[in-house]
Amino acid sequence: MNKTALYITAASTVSHQPTFGNAGFSAALGPVGADHALISPDYKAYIEAGLLRRMSKILRMSVACSKECIAQAGIGQPDAIVVGTGLGCLQDTEKFLNTSLTVEGLLPPTSFIQSTHNTMAGQISLSIGNHGYNMTHTQNTLSFEHALLDASLLLHEGDRNVLVGAADEHIDILDDITGQLAFETGAALTSGASFFILSSENTAYTMAELADVHVVGGVAGIQEETDAFLGRNGLATKDVDLVLFAGNPVDGALKNVPYLALSGVYATASAFALHYAADLLQADRGVRNVLICNALRESNLGLTLLRTVEA
Amino acid sequence: MGVSITGIGVVSAIGMSVEENLRSLRESKSGIGPLHYLQGTKASRAGEVKASNDDLRRALGVSTEYVSRTSLLGLQAAREAWGDNKRSGVIRTGLISATSVGGMDRSEVFYKDYLSQNKPDYQLLTTHDSGSTTERIARELGITGYINTLSTACSSGANAIMLGARLILQGTLDRVLVGGTDALSGFTIDGFRSLMIYDEQWCRPFDESRAGLNLGEGAGFLLLEGEKSLELTGNVPVCQVSGWANAADAYHQTASSPDGKGATLAIENAIRRAGIGLGDISYVNAHGTGTKNNDHSESVALKNVFGDHIPPFSSTKAFTGHTLAAAGAIEAVFSVLAIQQNLIYPNLNYQTPIAETGLAPVAQLNTAVPVNAVLSNSFGFGGNNSSLVFTRYE
């Protein structure tokens, strides 16, 4: 990447934490508690009632965050919509799978229609009447980083504002599956959606600069990749004020925080970490840069570097 | 400026390789028929790849049974496109695949047992997520680094090609294997049946009597290389991908708009990106699924863009069935072959023009005209419209 500077000018997250419509949330955020639940905003303020009834959790979260971002950034239409999702629309997928295996005769199509991975991006374009580039990336734990990289390409190609985000939803069977497959998740499985406006323009709304994003599938050496990434951005690990990590901490950085404890576990939780970082960079002037080191799945590495923007 | 294509691979109902697919296209031989390998579905016909999972695993040397048919089909086509190319420490190589339902062919086996409490094998779910189907292909080919999956329903394959070209032009990658793969599943067959757009008869794209689509399965892959990679590999381009565009229709979650807004934008922008004139398009490989809605909307879009001078066009879906995320990639391979071989494929089963639009697709194989530029359309759920332009390498 490393071409023209890119800025985050809006951010919105629905999660199991008080993130939505709550700028400065990073200051007082503790780990996801034992009694956690998704904290839903008043969706009726963002989505027409008839549509809302048919929408699954992941769709509601995504559309509300998107509309909130567009309002925050003070833009009319984004030039493009780019979404990442690890597992897609699980609620509707399971519902249609169940229907198709148990119901004879004519099946109701709504859950099939809403089962495709690009339903979020499609519903966002529908709800705001957007005719731009519309893309959905699904590379399990790196889905969000891939979306962010695509958004960066678009801005380098001349777009000015891209709506980029990620969403994944929890359904009950996931707890059973992770147990049966003996996955050690380390924190509770949760749902979450985070959307951003990524802009080529530094505006009054700018929260942080996106300095770089890098993805490595089938990674051999996480430490080497991280050092090389920081080096390309003129940094060494000792220069990093804060690392938000999933997997292992980055040795040598001033501070390491495991972000899954804050967000809970879902494939695109690194999008939560990005919002947390952008929020923190605005609130705490002592933090100048944040590295998000996503090795939620150890064979996949996502690196995202955020910098403070000088006033 | 375009990006060079140096390798192609395809597997579909009409063949296990580029050569077999080309022969079927030349002979107007469809692969749509009764299902042999996928059991227990309600579809009377589909475009099934003529090989069992065991056949595919054996041929590909994949030992584990925990692999989705989607991965196996993808690997088959990806290997052919990759050919004898070597891994390299200096050529930054990526893989972008596209799939709509990933390992659903395995997940539905699990879920059936899960519902009936008949000892469900949870291990089957490790191939469920779409990303894992791509990672399997990457692992078998030894590709690491940029490995990505796009999932935008029926336009996914085209979008993988578009993203690969953009990554090369921006210098993020030097070469990238791009394509799409989808296996037939009870899930998607029931899905299209629930929408009442699954034709129990042989599909009839662009015909007034069309009554829906037949699903198919398969995969298509293309190897894209930038200047640096070409210098190092010495590969000779077989064709160029010169134009691409994606646009949202923003009309309805599944239906296409009657004015063809998204499709029109995608076609216009792709041709503009290719830097050629409307009159330079020799052939349009249409999305042409055979549904009332798509073929009407696509016809309107073609009229919007080309007016009275619509190039020869046809849909190859009556050969292969609609292969969902693979369609854009399989048809990209067909588009490359059209240019290489100077072929315009017949739109099988066409008899009567659609009353509202009056357009007649090419009904017979045409080998008599030079084909220098092909427009390929792929439109998906969510109003996701993509167009690609392929041009002769000069």
Contact B138/A at CB under 8 A: yes
B138/A96 Cβ within 8 A: no
Q: At what angle do helices B186-194 and B104-115 cross, to 10 degrees?
A: 90
Averaged over B131-152, what is the pLDDT?
A: 96
Mean pLDDT for chain B overall: 97
Contacts of B251 in chain A (CB under 8 A): 126
What CATH number does the domain located at B244-391 have? 3.40.47.10
Query: Residues of B with CB below 8 A from A119's CB?
Result: 253, 381-382
Q: Is there a catalytic annotation at residue B154?
A: yes
Domain A6-199: which CATH number of 3.40.1550.10, 3.40.47.10, 3.30.365.10, 3.50.50.60: 3.40.47.10
- pLDDT at residue A1, rounded to an integer: 44
- Which residues in chain A have Cβ-Cβ distances shorter than 8 Å to B384? 118, 121-122, 134
Cβ neighbours of B252 in A, within 8 Å: 126
Indicate which of B105, B184, B190 best probes the interface with A, i.e. most A CBs within 10 Å of its own CB.
B190
Burial class (CB in 10 A: 0-12, 13-18, 19+), A77: middle
Average pLDDT over residues B114-133: 95
> Across chain A, where does the E strand assignment appear?
6-14, 80-84, 133-137, 161-168, 192-199, 208-217, 242-246, 256-258, 289-294, 300-307
Question: B357-382: per-residue pLDDT in tens?
Answer: 999 999 999 999 999 999 999 999 88
Query: What part of B 208-267 touches A (C-beta under 8 Å)?
Result: 246-254, 261-262, 265
What's residue A311's pLDDT? Answer: 63
Rounded to a whole number of angstroms, the distance from the CA of A293 to the nearest CA of chain B is 16
Q: Name the residue among B102, B132, B250 with its Cβ closest to that of A131.
A: B250
- Tokens representing residue A113 in the block: 């229609």
Q: For residue A233, give the DSSP letter.
A: T
Cβ distance A135 to B249 less than 8 Å, yes or no, reads no
CB-side neighbour CA atoms (13 Å) of B43: 36
pLDDT at B291: 97
Q: Which residues of B touch A180 (CB under 8 A)?
A: 122
Rounded (5°) CA angle A248-A251-A255: 90
Q: Is B239 a catalytic residue?
A: no
* pLDDT score at A3: 66
Q: Please, where in chain A does CATH 3.40.47.10 lie?
A: 6-199, 209-307
Q: Closest Cα of chain A to B306: distance in Å? A: 21
Domains B3-233 and B244-391 in one fold:
yes
pLDDT tier at B13 (50, 70, 90 boundaries)? very high
* B8 pLDDT above the threshold of 80: yes
CATH architecture of A209-307: 3-Layer(aba) Sandwich (3.40)
For helices B104-115 and A90-102, give the axis angle rounded to 10 degrees: 60
- Determine whether the interchain pair B144/A215 forms a contact, defined as Cβ–Cβ distance below 8 Å: no
Specify whether the CB–CB gap between B82 and B177 falls below 8 A.
Answer: yes
Q: Choosing from B203, B239, B296, B322, which is the catalytic residue?
A: B322
- Of A185, A159, A165, nearest to A174 by C-alpha is A185
Catalytic residue among B128, B203, B287, B296: B287
Across chain A, which has 311 residues, the per-10-residue mean pLDDT values are 82 98 95 90 96 96 98 96 98 97 93 97 96 97 98 97 98 96 92 98 96 96 96 97 97 97 98 98 94 97 95 63
Tens digits of residue pLDDT in B262-291: 999 999 999 999 999 999 999 999 999 999
- The shortest C-alpha distance from A157 to chain B (Å) reads 9
Question: Contact, B349 vs B205, CB < 8 A?
Answer: yes
Confidence of residue B317 (pLDDT cuts 50, 70, 90): very high
Contact map slice: B 58-117 vs A, CB within 8 A:
100, 102, 107-108, 111-112, 115
Alpha-carbon distance of B50 to A86, in angstroms, equals: 31
Closest Cα to residue A51, out of A116, A124, A156, A117?
A: A124
Q: What is the pLDDT of residue B324?
A: 98
Tell me the chain A residues in contact with residue B108 when contact means C-beta distances shorter than 8 Å.
97, 101
- A143 with B134: Cβ contact below 8 A: no
Intra-chain end-to-end CA distance of chain A, in Å = 24
B146 with A217: Cβ contact below 8 A: yes
- Please tell me the predicted confidence (pLDDT) of residue B67: 96
According to CATH, the topology of domain B3-233 is Peroxisomal Thiolase; Chain A, domain 1 (3.40.47)
Where exactly are the structural domains of chain B?
Answer: 3-233, 244-391
pLDDT at B260: 95
First to last CA, chain B: 12
